Structure 1
Amino acid sequence: MTHWQIRPLTAEHTRGLAECHIACWREAYRGLVPDHLLAAFDVERLTERWERDRVRHPGCLHVAVSEGAVIGFAVAAPDRAADSVAAPQTPVETPVATIQLNAIYVRSPWYGTGLADELLRAAVDPEASCSLWVFEQNPRAQAFYRKHGFELDGARKVEGFSPAMQVRMVRPGR
């Protein structure tokens, strides 16, 4: 397998990011997210959205590129947990994170290669506190985050455009 390069998103790779994003959702969430929602993704609209985000939030989006193709990506920005956090099922003392990992995806041929680890390090300073939302029925992703020091904090919410439940994981800063 060819190696990759991780870099901040540029206009050159915005469409590739949209294609990768759609492919990753279809690979990872079939059976969890309804098929009609996975089929409805539009690469043109998603490319436009990623381009707007690239311009508005420089340095927050990182892509992994191999042989000119985007094979993974990560997005992190200041934590916006206060905007729409569901109350935890059980009260817990969770410090507010400084960074929220909004997305990290790797195409399935690169599962287990270390690419996701590198994307996480590129997107989030290991010293910073961080939060993220992950599908409750995604044990593979939760195990990955646990390996990197994240723990469930008890907060839950329904994903924005599907009936899937999400749970929040947090990692304290060092």
Structure 2
Amino acid sequence: MARGVKRWQVVPLAADHTRSLAACHIACWREAYRNLVPRHVLDAFDIDRLAAQWERRRIAYPHNAVVAVTDDGTVIGFGSGGPSLTESSVTPREINAMYVRSAWYGTGVAHDLMRTVLVPDVDTSLWVFEENRRAQAFYRKYGFELDGGHQVEAFSPALEVRMVRRAARLG
């Protein structure tokens, strides 16, 4: 991938993206979390089941997910955000997913996804693996800071920490 040459676009998640999104999602987890999540968990991902799950999410929350697709339609990254779905949330909005294939790190794909998912005038939170310093540094670029919240991740024994971005207030 030549740096400086943009060969992708960020678009709303559509039905014809869900299988490629599932493949991207699995690959991203395996690339980013191989030392954080037990191997048997990473090996257990099923593309058909995950594609069906993304299709259900797409239908239930039609405006929450976006995908970065190459010129040939391959999903190379994705982001998802929307209103907080839990009563215990500390912000009205949450980012639920932000992933890019490792071959596309540093190209601007993640920046384009974040710009699309982030709503500047709404307080927003997200959860990230405590040991994932790369992701935490990325989120700090967009104003997210650790707030002391922590939880055990649903699919593994890994600890997650919460990051919060306060909205830019005008006036």
- TM exceeds 0.5? yes
Query: Is 1:160–2:145 an aligned residue pair?
Result: no
The structural deviation recorded for 1:81 is: 4.7
Equivalent of residue 53 in structure 1, options 54, 57, 60: 57
Q: Which residue type is aligned with residue 117 of structure 2?
A: A
What is the aligned partner in structure 2 of residue 121 from structure 1?
115
1:80 aligns with 2:85: yes
Post-superposition offset of 1:98: 2.0
Q: Choose the corresponding residue for 2:69, options 44, 65, 69.
A: 65
Q: TM-score, normalised by structure 2?
A: 0.92
1:98-145 Cα offsets, whole Å, 9 max, x none, are 210000000001101111111011112122211000000000000000
Equivalences for 1:105-144 in 2 at 5 Å? 105-144=99-138
Taking the aligned partners of 1:161 and 1:15, their CA distance within structure 2 comes to 21
* Cα distance between partner residues in 1 of 2:53 and 2:45: 12
Distance 1:155 1:80 in 2: 17
Q: 2:97 aligns to what?
A: 103
Query: Structure 1 vs Structure 2: percent identity of aligned residues?
Result: 58
Measured against aligned partners, the alpha-carbon deviations of 1:43-85 in whole angstroms (never above 9, x if no partner) come to 00000000000000011010000021000000001123534x6
TM-score (norm 1): 0.90
| Alpha-carbon distance, 1:21 to partner | 0.2
Aligned counterparts of 1:123 and 1:132: Cα–Cα separation in 2: 12
The number of residues matched between the two structures is 163
Q: Which amino acid aligns with 1:41?
A: F
Distance of 1:14 and 1:169 partners within structure 2: 28
1:117-174 Cα deviation digits (max 9, x unpaired): 1101111212221100000000000000011100000000000110000000000011
Runs of 5+ consecutive residues of structure 1 not aligned to the other structure: 86-95
Residue of structure 2 in register with 1:93 after alignment: none
Instruction: Using the TM superposition, name which of 163-172 and 117-126 deviates more.
Output: 117-126
Helix, strand or coil: the match of 2:87? helix
- Cα pair 1:77 1:99 within 8 Å, conserved: yes
Structure 1 partner of 2:21: 17
Distance 2:163 2:136 in 1: 8
Amino acid corresponding to residue 7 of structure 1 in structure 2: V
- For residues 31 and 10 of structure 1, what CA distance do their matches in structure 2 show? 32
Contact 1:99 1:124 in 2 (8 A): no
Q: Residue in 2 aligned with 1:148?
A: 142
Q: Distance in 1 between matches of 2:23 and 2:112?
A: 21
Q: Secondary structure at the match of 1:82?
A: coil
Gaps of 5+ in 2: none
